[in-house]
Amino acid sequence: MSPGCQKASVAYDAGNYAKAKDLWLPLAQKGETCAQRGMGKMYSKGRGVERDFTKAIEWYRPAAEKGDAESQYRLSVGYGYGMGIEKDEAKAMMWLRKAAENGQKRAQKSLAEGYEEGQHGLPRDPQQAKYWYDRSKTRE
């Protein structure tokens, strides 16, 4: 994580959303992944900006496309619930799988649950469910 992203994250975690935005926005506009994720988080939670899922998706997408697991997970949620983007179960599962494969724990647990229950277009598969549950519990 760049020093600018780190300072923005500290400001965000301290509740200084204006400072976080001032630090993240120029970095995000230059294509820095952590800043794009940060801007997506600000818009999805409505912290320091008006809550806007469409803008959140606009920031999460480029970070997700660069392999950022958290942004991939957030994009999957957007597609899954139609938040800020047209609902699309297939795209939701595609991004969920990418996030899970990149180590995002909630994505791994969601995949495990999908295989366990046979949901989200996934077949019931106890072996796959166990595999993803086990991965969700390990440190990477």
Please report, for the domain that includes residue 22, its CATH number: 1.25.40.10
CB neighbours (10 Å) of residue 110? 25
| In a domain? residue 42 | yes
In this prediction, what percent of the chain has a pLDDT beyond 90?
92
Number of separate domains in the chain: 1
| In a domain? residue 8 | yes
Sequence-distant (≥ 6) Cβ neighbours of residue 6 within 8 angstroms: none
- Which residues constitute the domain of residue 18? 3-102
| In a domain? residue 85 | yes
- Summarize pLDDT for 108-123 with one digit per residue, the tens: 999 999 999 998 888 9
